[in-house]
Each structure stands twice: as structure tokens, then as C-alpha cells.
């Protein structure tokens, strides 16, 4: 049985003072049936993990380097994130694929580095609007999945997030039919590669404009085990109803 997962991605938002929202999320969102993860800017991870030490909420990061250490100015190794208190890291987010030209081979190497440091990798896949309009969605998702997910992936060390690029930060949500099609495809592809037991164990998150008013309909879609939430994870006011909808689903 897969545990549901509500994951927040604060992206490049938040100062120390904003960790008050994290305190509110921990205090105001009791959700015994849901795992909670907030992926923070690296500057906040150590402080946040200390503040959440006695709460089940886990703190994650948003990227790591593929190497374990070395001359990579400005980069952060997975072991350093773990040392700061992170237990997970987002990998291959479309904003990093676009802004930093990360390809799936790079994402796979980062996922292997994350595993070596004991971090869960939240590996993101998603098509652009042009790819969807061209009827290439499943080809794109299949290729990203095959090349980004390492052979050593299991349901314990890897989460897959489907985030259509055109739905991120746009307020434009994929339809439940579109989500069902892609999540069903991802599940089948994972089972074909890893076998039934391991393939069934990966948690599949949907991401892209998940809000309090659309969360319940998304969580009712088969093979959706939770969400990766951007803007609406920044405040307890928005994130708590999403967590509650997942707990109730
Ligand atoms: P929004 O929820 O702001 O659309 O962002 C989604 C996302 O990119 C999460 O990783």
C-alpha cells in the first residue's frame, strides 16, 4: 500500500522569517494518512529541519550536484543537503531542465547521487504545450522516465512527479482525463521495467497549479498518490486544505 504524499516546492521563495508558515503548516494540518514534505531553498533547510525535528513533516531540497564533492563553485552535493537535514530532493524539475539545460542523463546521475547520500529523489517529468499539441505527450514522458530514473530506483528511494510544463504556475490545470492517461502510462512503464512489486511501489505525484479548489478532483484520479505543489505550498492557508483533501481521498 502506497502512503499518500503532499509535497511542497517553495522554488526560489522564502526568507528565514517565512518559516513561520512552516510552523503553521505543522500546527494546523494534522493529516495522519499523509506524508508531508516541503522542498525549500537550500538556505532554509538547516533551520527548518531543526524546527520540524519533533514533527513528521520532512524537509527537502530542490536540486543537487551529480558529484559527491569537488570543485563545483556554487553547487551543493547531496550529502551536504542530507547533512543540513534534508531527506529528499527534487530532481529534473522543468524549470531546471529549461533554465540550466539539464537533460535526463544528468537527472539520472543526480538521482544516483541522491540515493548514495540517503536522499529520496523526487524525479520530475512533463511535456511542453507544443509537445502535447503535437500528440507527443506519452513519447516525451516515456523517454524522460526511461532516461531519468536509475536502475537502482525503488519505491523507497524514488518518487515520480508528473508536471505538465504548461500547467506550472499558469493556473491552467490538466483535465482529470489527461492526468489519468499519463499516470496510468507511467505506472505501466514502471511495472514493465521494474516488475510488478517494485513498479507498484513508486508514488506518483501530480504537479501544476494544484490549489485548494481543484485538489479533491485531482486526488480522485487513479494512480495519483499525491501532489507536488508550488505556489499554494507557500502558506498554511492554501496548503492545509490541499493536505486535508489528500487525507480525505
Ligand atoms: P505551481 O503549483 O505553482 O503551478 O507549481 C508547480 C510546480 O512546479 C511544483 O514543482
Ligand 1 atom with the smallest distance to the CA of 170 is 4
- Probe residue for ligand 1, chosen from 6, 93, 231, 243 as the CB with the greatest number of ligand atoms within 8 Å: 231
What's residue 154's pLDDT?
98
Quote the ligand 1 centre to 70 CA distance (angstroms).
31
User: Which CA distances in Å does 237 have to 15, 24, 29?
Assistant: 18, 9, 10
Ligand 1 atom with the smallest distance to the CA of 95 is 8
What's residue 1's pLDDT?
82
Cα 11 from chain centroid (whole Å): 11
Whose alpha carbon is nearest atom 2 of ligand 1? 230
What is the full DSSP assignment across 18-85?
A: GHHHHHHHHHH---TTEEEEEE--HHHHHHHHHHTTTSS-EEEES--BSSSSSS-TT--BHHHHHHHT
Quote the ligand 1 centre to 195 CA distance (angstroms).
30
List residues near ligand 1 (CB under 6 A): 9, 93, 163, 168-169, 207-210, 228-232
Quote the ligand 1 centre to 168 CA distance (angstroms).
5
Find all residues with CB under 8 Å of 230, minimum gap 6, and list them: 8, 9, 11, 168, 169, 207
Whose alpha carbon is nearest atom 5 of ligand 1? 230
What's residue 173's pLDDT?
86
Find all residues with CB under 8 Å of 115, minimum gap 6, and list them: 121, 150, 152, 153, 157, 158
The CATH number fitting domain 4-248, selected from 3.20.20.70, 2.60.40.420, 3.40.50.12780, 3.60.15.10:
3.20.20.70
- Please give the helix or strand (H or E) that residue 8 lies within, else none: strand 4-9
Write out the catalytic residue numbers.
93, 163
Q: Are 3 and 202 in contact (CB under 8 A)?
A: no
What is the pLDDT tens value at each position of the chain, 249 positions in all? 899 999 999 999 999 999 999 999 999 888 889 999 999 999 999 999 999 998 999 999 999 999 999 999 999 999 999 999 999 999 999 999 999 999 999 999 999 999 999 999 999 999 999 999 999 999 999 999 999 999 999 999 999 999 999 998 888 889 999 999 999 999 999 999 999 999 999 999 999 999 999 999 999 999 999 999 999 999 999 999 999 999 999
Ligand 1 atom with the smallest distance to the CA of 211 is 2
Amino acid at each position: 500500500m502506497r502512503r499518500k504524499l503532499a509535497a511542497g516546492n517553495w522554488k526560489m521563495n522564502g526568507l528565514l522569517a517565512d518559516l513561520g508558515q512552516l510552523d503553521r503548516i505543522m500546527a494546523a494540518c494534522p493529516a495522519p494518512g499523509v506524508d508531508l514534505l516541503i522542498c525549500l531553498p537550500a538556505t532554509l533547510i538547516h533551520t527548518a529541519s531543526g524546527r520540524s525535528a519533533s514533527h513528521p513533516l520532512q524537509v527537502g531540497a530542490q536540486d543537487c550536484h551529480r558529484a559527491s564533492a569537488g570543485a563545483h563553485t556554487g553547487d551543493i552535493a547531496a550529502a551536504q543537503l542530507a547533512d543540513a537535514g534534508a531527506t529528499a530532493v527534487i530532481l529534473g524539475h522543468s524549470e531546471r531542465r529549461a533554465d540550466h539545460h539539464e537533460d535526463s542523463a544528468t537527472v539520472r546521475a543526480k538521482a544516483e547521487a541522491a540515493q548514495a547520500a540517503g536522499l529520496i529523489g523526487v524525479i520530475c517529468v512533463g511535456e511542453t504545450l507544443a509537445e502535447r499539441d503535437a500528440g507527443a505527450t506519452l513519447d516525451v514522458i516515456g523517454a524522460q522516465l526511461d532516461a531519468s530514473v536509475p536502475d537502482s530506483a525503488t519505491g523507497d528511494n524514488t518518487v515520480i512527479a508528473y508536471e505538465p510544463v504548461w500547467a506550472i504556475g499558469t493556473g491552467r490545470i490538466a483535465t482529470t482525463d489527461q492526468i489519468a492517461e499519463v499516470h496510468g502510462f507511467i505506472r505501466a512503464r514502471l511495472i514493465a521495467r521494474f516488475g510488478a512489486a517494485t513498479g507498484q511501489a513508486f508514488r506518483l505525484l501530480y504537479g501544476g497549479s494544484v490549489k485548494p479548489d481543484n485538489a479533491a478532483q485531482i486526488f480522485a484520479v487513479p494512480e495519483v498518490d499525491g501532489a507536488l505543489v508550488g505556489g499554494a505550498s507557500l502558506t498554511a492557508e492554501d496548503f492545509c486544505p490541499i493536505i486535508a483533501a489528500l487525507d480525505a481521498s
